Chain A
Amino acid sequence: MSPMNNPQDLNPSSLKSRFTTRFLRALTKINGQKPISSSSPREMFQRYRRIKVAADKSMAWSVRSRRTWSRAMLWKLRSRYSCRQASSSRRSSVRTSTIIKSRQAKTSHEKENKNTTTGQDEVGFVVQADKLRKLVPGGEAMDLCNLLGETAHYIKCLTTQVQVMRKIAHFYSL
């Protein structure tokens, strides 16, 4: 994996560098918000959530909606954020939830359509394709061919994310 990414390291606008800058920015913001030494599990959990969300968000932003999965992830994050923001006003939350539900219904419907058409050919893959669809964000509304392409890109981005986060953790722990 690493030899593949090495040529990208030199590229200032590569996926890795974009993700790193964004993520570090988000991390410093999170670290600035709360004291580090919060020991209660709940707070730690919240912090963990924030960091994870920041990581996912910065990754999706680095891809910049060129891919279906990044678009889906950004949309999901934004809708959740707006849901939380509007938790006080019921109407907006209901609206967003209905939007989410309608979208899910639409995507599942599309998926079923596609399944019926593609089911004839590769019957054995439908089960695994469904699993993959659940894993990859935005995978419900794609046929197998595009799903595989999105999965490849998603795996590449995930490995980049893991590498960067590991290095940051290494620096932190030193």
Chain B
Amino acid sequence: MQPCSREMQAMNSLLNPTQQIPLQDLQSNGNSNAHQQIQNPQFDPTSPHDDFLEQMLSTLPSCSWSDLKSPWDPPKSDETGPPNPDNNVGFHYDEILASKLRQHQINGGGGSSSAAAAMKMMMQQQMMLEGRATAAAGAGGGGGFTMPLSLGSGAAGSHQNDNIVDGSSFKSPNHQGGDGSVQALCNSFGAGSLHGTNQSSNQFQHFHHPQGGNMQAQNFGVTAGTVMNQSQASGSTTGGTPAQPKQRVRARRGQATDPHSIAERLRRERIAERMKALQELVPNANKTDKASMLDEIIDYVKFLQLQVKVLSMSRLGGAAAVAPLVADMPSEGGGDCIQTSANGKQTSSPNDSLTVTEHQVAKLMEEDMGSAMQYLQGKGLCLMPISLATAISTATCHSRNPMINNANPNNGNSNHLLLQSSGEGPSSPSMSVLTVQSATVGNGAIDGSVKDATSVSKP
């Protein structure tokens, strides 16, 4: 085992110049990051094949490894390099794989290239396996070089005929259709000239051309299944086999590899995640589209700023003597406090501020009752049923009229009067009744919306 494992490691290092994969990882079917590691098939410890493998390896001149290795290099590092010198006939297959690899790279960037490289390597290994198998007269490959992974489970030799196994999406995974499986392999890899590999070559260098097409086909069948299994397991299947699940979306979308579009994409992603964070903060967040979401955000920020203003006004007097309510401050330079109490009709601006308030409250009430109530309470207002409002207004209209007529600054007193007459008791002067003022102002907009809300809250 030792020499074989060493050989395996050597091969590993050759095939995978960037990464050293420990032998134990070779057979890992469910690796999530397998696409980053090229999965080398596990060296199967079944003994009968070991010696054979040693022989094969000893006969294998080292230069072939570099030849074998070369097809991988250009696809990994450079998309445009031709696969390799044509000194070896068998490299047609490599060319095909290399072109496929390049195609993958164009589609999907590095990750997929390594995946395709993995697939390609598998194929190579398959070939080698078959070569060895044929040389061993169908002993089937146990692992040996090859690597096809579960080949170790005896797939190869004895299973020339049966295994294939894995429900892989391959069309005719069973070797039976020797040619069929080859065809399938060709189809999947887009390589139409796999048959070229059928050329017999007596050089063991090109393991990928074992002698007989038959055996080859059969082994293909066997190995194809395992290859597919491998690539499926590795999760790196961009376009290699159509039926396999596309587990990496980015390879598909990554059509644009220029930095501008990548930067754009990053920017868009960042904006999207910030919008999501904002969505959680803003109460009414049904993200239909970004524009409406931005509108919501803007409205909410305005609302919060308004609340701060209102609260800072309402805190002017802790005592009961003063503190009229202010709805809004349309002009910050002026000195007018705007009253929203029942007699608040001294200037025209109360009307504006009132309608503004009412519009905002109406809008809020459509969306969320809770925030509407909070909004009102922040202003020191409340909602009440119309019946009560009319009762209050009729009860106080006679006392109110003189106040309306004279523009007196004693708003606190009038507030008191109003509230006392309505029998609410000594509530804070900061409380008022929205509907009453709407009745006085003559604005019926709120009345419709106040049908059944009844919270007359006292601080």
Q: Which residues of A contact B (CB under 8 A)?
A: 1, 27, 36-42, 44-49, 51-52, 55-56, 121-122, 124-125, 128-129, 131-132, 135-136, 144-145, 148-149, 151-152, 154-156, 158-159, 161-162, 165-166, 168-170, 172-174
Which residues of chain B from 249 to 296 have any CB-CB distance to chain A below 8 Å in the complex? 264, 267-268, 270-271, 274-275, 277-278, 281-283, 290-291, 294-295
Most buried by A among B278, B304, B315, B409: B315
Q: Are A39 and B410 in contact (CB under 8 A)?
A: yes
Do A48 and B312 form a contact, CB below 8 Å, given A151-B301, A158-B301? Answer: yes
Q: Are A45 and B336 in contact (CB under 8 A)?
A: yes
Closest to A42 in B: B335
Residues of B within 8 A of A155 (CB): 278, 281-282, 297, 300-301, 304
- Give the contacting residue for B311; candidates A38, A132, A165; CB below 8 A: A165
Which residues of chain B from 307 to 354 have any CB-CB distance to chain A below 8 Å in the complex? 307-309, 311-319, 321-322, 324, 326, 329, 332, 334-337
Q: Are B335 and A165 in contact (CB under 8 A)?
A: no
Residues of A within 8 A of B337 (CB): 41, 44-45, 48
Other A-B contacts than A42-B335, A168-B315, 6 sampled, CB-CB below 8 A, are A45-B335, A48-B337, A124-B291, A135-B305, A152-B278, A155-B304
- Give the contacting residue for A128; candidates B281, B298, B335, B428; CB below 8 A: B298
- Give the contacting residue for B304; candidates A37, A132, A158; CB below 8 A: A158
Q: Are B309 and A52 in contact (CB under 8 A)?
A: yes
Residues of B within 8 A of A136 (CB): 301
Residues of A within 8 A of B298 (CB): 128, 131-132, 135
- Least Cβ–Cβ distance between B282 and chain A, in angstroms: 7
CB of B241 within 8 Å of the partner chain: no
Closest to B270 in A: A145
Closest to A120 in B: B264
25 CB < 8 A contacts A-B: A27-B315, A36-B317, A44-B316, A44-B322, A45-B337, A48-B326, A52-B308, A52-B309, A125-B290, A128-B294, A132-B294, A132-B301, A136-B301, A145-B267, A148-B271, A155-B278, A155-B297, A162-B311, A162-B378, A165-B311, A165-B312, A166-B378, A172-B318, A173-B428, A173-B430
Residues of B within 8 A of A1 (CB): 283
Query: In the docked arrangement, what's the CA distance between A152 and B316, Å?
Result: 29
Query: In the docked arrangement, what's the CA distance between A145 and B319, Å?
Result: 46
Number of interface residues of B (CB under 8 A): 52
Residues of A within 8 A of B313 (CB): 44, 48, 51
Q: Which residues of B contact A (CB under 8 A)?
A: 264, 267-268, 270-271, 274-275, 277-278, 281-283, 290-291, 294-295, 297-298, 300-302, 304-305, 307-309, 311-319, 321-322, 324, 326, 329, 332, 334-337, 378, 409-410, 412, 428, 430, 459
**Taking chain A's interface residues, is the majority helix, strand, or loop, or is none over half, making it mixed?**
helix
Residues of B within 8 A of A41 (CB): 335-337, 409
- Least Cβ–Cβ distance between A97 and chain B, in angstroms: 17
Closest to B304 in A: A158
Do A121 and B264 form a contact, CB below 8 Å, given A37-B321, A151-B278? Answer: yes
Q: Are A165 and B315 in contact (CB under 8 A)?
A: yes
- Least Cβ–Cβ distance between B332 and chain A, in angstroms: 7
Do A55 and B301 form a contact, CB below 8 Å, given A37-B321, A121-B264? Answer: no
Closest to B326 in A: A48
Q: Are A154 and B291 in contact (CB under 8 A)?
A: no
**Which 8 pairs from chain A and chain B are nearest by CB?**
A42-B335, A172-B318, A148-B274, A158-B304, A128-B294, A165-B311, A41-B337, A51-B312
Residues of B within 8 A of A169 (CB): 311, 314-315, 430, 459
Closest to B320 in A: A173
Query: In the docked arrangement, what's the CA distance between A166 and B43, Å?
Result: 73
Residues of A within 8 A of B278 (CB): 148, 151-152, 155
- Least Cβ–Cβ distance between A42 and chain B, in angstroms: 3
Query: In the docked arrangement, what's the CA distance between A168 and B329, Å?
Result: 21
- Give the contacting residue for A152; candidates B274, B304, B326; CB below 8 A: B274
Query: In the docked arrangement, what's the CA distance between A152 and B305, Å?
Result: 14
Residues of A within 8 A of B336 (CB): 41, 45
Most buried by B among A36, A39, A174: A39
Residues of A within 8 A of B410 (CB): 39
Closest to A144 in B: B271
Query: In the docked arrangement, what's the CA distance between A24 and B178, Å?
Result: 87
Q: Are B412 and A152 in contact (CB under 8 A)?
A: no
Query: In the docked arrangement, what's the CA distance between A40 and B329, Å?
Result: 16
Q: Are A47 and B304 in contact (CB under 8 A)?
A: no
- Give the contacting residue for A174; candidates B274, B290, B312, B459; CB below 8 A: B459
Residues of B within 8 A of A151 (CB): 278, 297, 301
Residues of A within 8 A of B297 (CB): 132, 151, 155
Residues of B within 8 A of A122 (CB): 271, 290
Do A162 and B319 form a contact, CB below 8 Å, given A41-B336, A155-B278, A173-B430? Answer: no
- Least Cβ–Cβ distance between A152 and chain B, in angstroms: 5
- Least Cβ–Cβ distance between A51 and chain B, in angstroms: 4
Query: In the docked arrangement, what's the CA distance between A115 and B275, Å?
Result: 19
Residues of B within 8 A of A51 (CB): 312-313, 315-316
Q: Are A36 and B335 in contact (CB under 8 A)?
A: no
Closest to A59 in B: B308
- Least Cβ–Cβ distance between A168 and chain B, in angstroms: 7
Query: In the docked arrangement, what's the CA distance between A149 and B412, Å?
Result: 43
Query: In the docked arrangement, what's the CA distance between A58 and B103, Å?
Result: 61
Q: Are A36 and B308 in contact (CB under 8 A)?
A: no
Residues of B within 8 A of A48 (CB): 309, 312-313, 316, 326, 329, 337
